[in-house]
Amino acid sequence: MAWKTLDDMDLNGKRVLVRVDINVPMENGVVTDMTRISRIADTVYDIQDAGGKVILMAHYGRPKGKVVEEMSLIHIAPFVAEELGVPVTFADSDYRDAVKEMVDDEVLLLENLRFNPGEEANDPEFAKRLATLCDVYVNDAFSAAHRAHASTEAISKLRPSCAGRLMEEELSALEAALGKPKRPVVAVVGGAKVSTKLDLLGNLVGKVDHLVIGGGMANTFLAAQGINVGKSLCEHDLADTAREILAKAEAAGCEIILPRDIVVAREFKAGAASETVAPDACPADAMILDAGPATVAYIEGVLANAKTLIWNGPLGAFEIEPFDAATNAAALAAAKLTKAKKLISVAGGGDTVAALNQAGAAADFTYISTAGGAFLEWMEGKELPGVAALNT
Ligand code: ADP
Ligand code: MG
């Protein structure tokens, strides 16, 4: 697949409308994490350097088609100005006049798109209203690309369209991991439940060479093989599904890696007494809360022979010590191989990003996607409407 980028567009003297994700956390009127704002900087600067005028549009929170004062982007505008070092003007509804009055180095930020019901409805009329503001449309919000909304899908049909720098970076990282990856490819899928990741597992077994299944969802697979998992988190009703996934993997030549030893405890709290036992030796009154060192050693061996890693979901209940051990060790092993240029490593998912940060491994990964839902849908092999709209 190929996407147009800023380099393919003539931006000189053009009004460029950019869909961004600046849905940043805010407390008492102050943005507490500027990451999402700082990540749109290259797109803004490159458009300005090419002679274009930047108009930003975004959503904030979930106002559900109504004006909700606390969710106005007027509160975010000063932080965008500060972070990007450019003057930012805010336009609440008279978009057209505001656009006419723009001066060259000024950035115009439009009001929260989701104040208008037309945004989430992918309404062609609302898209048309947005399109009349610009000559070129740029999508730089991968994290919103799994939704077909007026600002991510309908508008792309009305103006020449391309990917912004952040979208470009995200798409190339994801292509490198699952599109045309260097093999062998290892996927690590963990987390709480199989039920939330069925499509993901189904897609991956047909695409990767080794699939590590960890976290609570591994218990469902162990139980499906007739193993007693005691009081562990387990979806017994998904035993058939788990067996189907195992069969599909076998047919596809994908090695499924389940825990080879387990860490069990009777309480789910920090520092709870725990022991490492064989996968089929979970006491009836205990829970499996992490994979053990033999599992980690095996995963390290697989990673050492792999060229590509894609990771979603922790291997254990990483929020609570000592059940973060397997996740931390596997993450650090992947980080080390990546740093040594032996592995391409891509990870995403809310808890996964938190776990990799906590392990001190995130900085050495090739790419960490912060786009929760969009990253998962992409890993599931689904077409993202906002990305499909940019296909050449
Ligand atoms: P992500 O947000 O990265 O997609 P998930 O939300 O699927 O990840 O999974 C993260 C959650 O899974 C964490 O809250 C973690 O505590 C939980 N988890 C992992 N292993 C276990 C386990 N063995 N038992 C219970 N919960 C687990
Ligand atoms: Mg989660």
Nearest CA to ligand 1 atom 16: 317
- The distance between the two most distant Cα atoms of the chain, rounded to a whole number of Å, is 72
| Domains in the chain: boundaries | 6-165, 172-379
CA 288 to ligand 1 centroid distance, Å: 12
pLDDT of residue 2: 83
Cβ–Cβ under 8 Å, residues 8 and 47: no
Q: Which atom of ligand 1 is nearest to the CA of 218?
A: 23
Q: Which token pair is 172?
A: 């190339």
Q: Which atom of ligand 1 is nearest to the CA of 317?
A: 16
348 lines ligand 1 (CB under 6 A): no
Question: How far is the C-alpha of 234 from the C-alpha of 289, rounded, in Å?
Answer: 11
Question: How far is the C-alpha of 294 from the C-alpha of 303, rounded, in Å?
Answer: 14
CA 352 to ligand 1 centroid distance, Å: 9
325 lines ligand 1 (CB under 6 A): no
Q: Which token pair is 87?
A: 């003057």
- Measured from the alpha carbon of residue 200, the closest ligand is 1
Q: Which atom of ligand 1 is nearest to the CA of 348?
A: 3
Is the domain spanning 6-165 CATH 3.40.50.10440? The answer is no
259 lines ligand 1 (CB under 6 A): no
Cβ–Cβ under 8 Å, residues 15 and 135: yes
Q: Do domains 6-165 and 172-379 have the same CATH topology?
A: yes
385 lines ligand 1 (CB under 6 A): no
pLDDT of residue 113: 98
Beta bridge partners of 274: 265
Active site amino acids: 36, 193, 350, 373
pLDDT of residue 227: 98
The half-sphere exposure of 281 on its side-chain side, counting CA atoms within 13 A, is 9
Residue 216: count of CB within 10 angstroms of its CB: 23
350 lines ligand 1 (CB under 6 A): yes
CA 218 to ligand 1 centroid distance, Å: 11
| Phi-psi sector, 61: left (phi>0), alpha (psi -120 to 50), beta | left
CA 199 to ligand 1 centroid distance, Å: 17
Question: How far is the C-alpha of 32 from the C-alpha of 36, rounded, in Å?
Answer: 11
Return per-residue pLDDT of the chain as tens, 392 residues: 688 999 999 999 999 999 999 999 999 999 999 989 999 999 999 999 999 999 999 999 999 999 999 999 999 999 999 999 999 999 998 899 999 999 888 999 999 999 999 999 999 999 999 999 999 999 999 999 999 999 999 999 999 999 999 999 999 999 888 888 999 999 999 999 999 998 999 999 999 999 999 999 999 999 999 999 999 999 999 999 999 999 999 999 999 999 999 999 999 998 899 999 999 999 999 999 999 999 999 999 999 999 999 999 999 999 999 999 999 999 999 999 999 999 999 999 989 999 999 999 999 999 999 888 999 999 998 999 999 988 87
pLDDT of residue 1: 63
Q: Which CATH number fits domain 172-379: 2.60.120.10, 3.40.50.720, 3.40.50.150, 3.40.50.1260?
A: 3.40.50.1260
Nearest CA to ligand 1 atom 9: 191
279 lines ligand 1 (CB under 6 A): no
Question: How far is the C-alpha of 337 from the C-alpha of 74, rounded, in Å?
Answer: 44
